[in-house]
Amino acid sequence: MLTIATGNKAVAAAVRQANPAVIAAYPITPQTEIVEQMAEYVTAGELKSRYIPVESEHSAMAACIGASITGVRTFTATSSHGLLYMHEMINWAAGARLPIVMANVNRALGPGWNVWAEHTDAFQERDTGWLQVFVSTVQEAYDATLMAFRIAEHNDVLLPVMVNLDGFTLSHIMQSLETVNPGDFIPPLHLPHAIDPAHPAGYGTLTGPDDYFKFRWDIERSMRDSVKVIRETEQDFADRFGRSYGMTEEYRCEDADVVVIAMGTLGKEAEVAIDLLRKEGIRAGSMRIRWLRPFPTLDLAGRDVVVIDRDYSFGFGGILAQSLKAKHRCEPYSVIAGLGGQEVTYDDIAGFIRDRKPGEEYWFGVKA
């Protein structure tokens, strides 16, 4: 069915079709619309889920953990400081191998107080064992959420998945949305280590030095295995519904001498900049990274690289640029732009590419 929806409403529509047994909800701008829509579905009888309004984001993730360990499908949503408040439970969810799906509407961290888009909130959770996908359109928000349940619940993965969408520039923007009838695209959940409340037992979670590292390795093994599961899921989605995705989305990269790498809505904005530069005779291309975890392998050999980070690690640099530098041994032109909702247009992005200085860092809008 073709309709018009916001990014938040698109996520909610996908969750309704995934039919989770438990939804834990706590409001925070600009995510609130998601859990409000889920409440409307439940109230109207369109979704037979246990909707739990909790007292904090920490409790929201704790509720999902408690429900998920019994072997039922769960969902929650948050943003910014709400995500950081969950941090302890974020680690527990991954360590307990629970396939929770969560939407995170990316928002800046205070102080100063700010409710607009930035990726630092999600990037601070990048080492917890969660898979993370970043979307750039309303349609992709819907599609990625549907796929997130299948990927998380696959027995070769069994790790939680975070679907990230930029605050306001995507969460509240109106775009066309084509929903599907997923049918059997998302199989029933069978959690192999689920506990049975009808047969209570004691569980010891203390793990000594002789075994702890094995649990850490098992998370890493599953993160590596998730690459194949993601590709298979995205291919099946394309075969069924006609929309194709990958670990990255490349645009006019075949003969590119310079590529710009970004995430979320800035990654989509970059495509307009590429068309502009091509008319000037500059052979540029864009690579929008969709999956932060597992981190993709890119073809950057022999190319200049411009990285736009909507995040920052103080004393270290743009997290995406530094990750690419370490993994691919390239010397990117690191641009810090879009923090806290700072406006970045395709003309700005084209300027970053024209004025690139490999190996240097540039803060957009800051005079040196």
Query: What is the structure's pLDDT at 205?
Result: 81
pLDDT at 52: 98
Q: Which residues pair with 249 in a beta bridge?
A: 288
Give pLDDT tens digits for 261-303: 999 999 999 999 999 999 999 999 999 999 999 999 999 999 9
Q: 78 with 104: CB under 8 angstroms?
A: yes
Query: What percentage of the chain carries pLDDT values higher than 70?
Result: 100
Paired tokens of 322: 């530094």
The answer to whether the beta carbons of residues 290 and 347 sit under 8 Å apart is no
Q: Please, are residues 289 and 296 in contact by the beta-carbon 8 Å criterion? A: yes
Structural contact between residues 76 and 61, judged by C-beta atoms closer than 8 angstroms: yes
**Structural domains for the chain:** 2-180+206-241 (3.40.50.970), 248-363 (3.40.50.920)
Q: How far is residue 260 from each of residues 120, 268, 300, 314, measured CA to CA in Å?
A: 19, 11, 11, 23
Secondary structure element (H or E) that encloses residue 259, with its range: strand 258-262
Please report how many Cα atoms fall inside a 13 Å half-sphere around the Cα of residue 339, on the Cβ side: 19
Describe the crossing of helices 7-18 and 138-153 by its angle, rounded to 10 degrees: 30
pLDDT exceeds 80 at position 325? yes
Segment 34-53, tens digit of pLDDT: 999 999 999 999 999 999 99
133: its two tokens: 């996908």
pLDDT at 203: 77
What is the model's pLDDT at position 157? 98
Contacts by 319-323, CB closer than 8 A, 24 or more apart: 319/123, 319/126, 320/261, 320/262, 320/263, 320/289, 321/361, 323/295
pLDDT of 305 higher than 80: yes
Q: Give the percent of the chain with pLDDT over 90.
A: 96
> Is the Cβ–Cβ distance between 31 and 171 less than 8 Å?
yes
Instruction: Report the mean per-residue pLDDT for the chain.
Output: 97
For residue range 189-248, list pLDDT tens digits in order. Answer: 999 999 998 888 887 789 999 999 999 999 999 999 999 999 999 999 999 999 999 999
Task: List the one residue out of 177, 174, 161, 180 whose CA is nearest residue 33.
Answer: 174
What pLDDT, on the 0 to 100 scale, is given for residue 367? 85
Per-residue pLDDT of 148-204, as tens digits, reads 999 999 999 999 999 999 999 999 999 999 999 999 999 999 999 999 988 888 877
b/e code 59-83 from CB counts within 10 Å (16+ = b): bbbbbbbebbbebebbbbbbbbbbb
* pLDDT value of position 340: 98
pLDDT of residue 197: 83
**In Å, what is the CA distance from 105 to each residue of 116, 170, 172, 181, 314?**
10, 9, 10, 25, 22
Tell me the sheet residues that pair with 291: 133
Distance, CA of 84 to CA of 208 (rounded, Å): 28
**Helices within the chain (DSSP H only):** 7-18, 32-43, 57-68, 80-85, 87-95, 120-123, 138-153, 212-241, 264-279, 319-328, 346-354
CB 327 within 8 A of CB 301: no
Give, to the nearest 10 degrees, the angle between helix 7-18 and helix 32-43: 40
3-class DSSP string for 320-353: HHHHHHHHHCCCCEEEECCHHHCCCCHHHHHHHH
pLDDT digits (tens, 9 = 90+) for 82-100: 999 999 999 999 999 999 9
Chain-centroid distance of CA 271 in Å reads 20
Name residues whose C-beta falls within 8 Å of residue 105's C-beta, 6 or more positions apart in sequence: 7, 8, 30, 31, 34, 77, 78, 79, 164, 165, 166, 167, 171
| 368 pLDDT more than 80 | no
pTM, two decimal places: 0.97
Is the pLDDT score of 1 beyond 90?
Answer: no
Q: How far is CA 364 from CA 8, 121, 160, 286, 344, in A?
A: 29, 20, 34, 19, 9
**C-alpha dihedral (130, 131, 137, 143), degrees to nearest 10:** -110
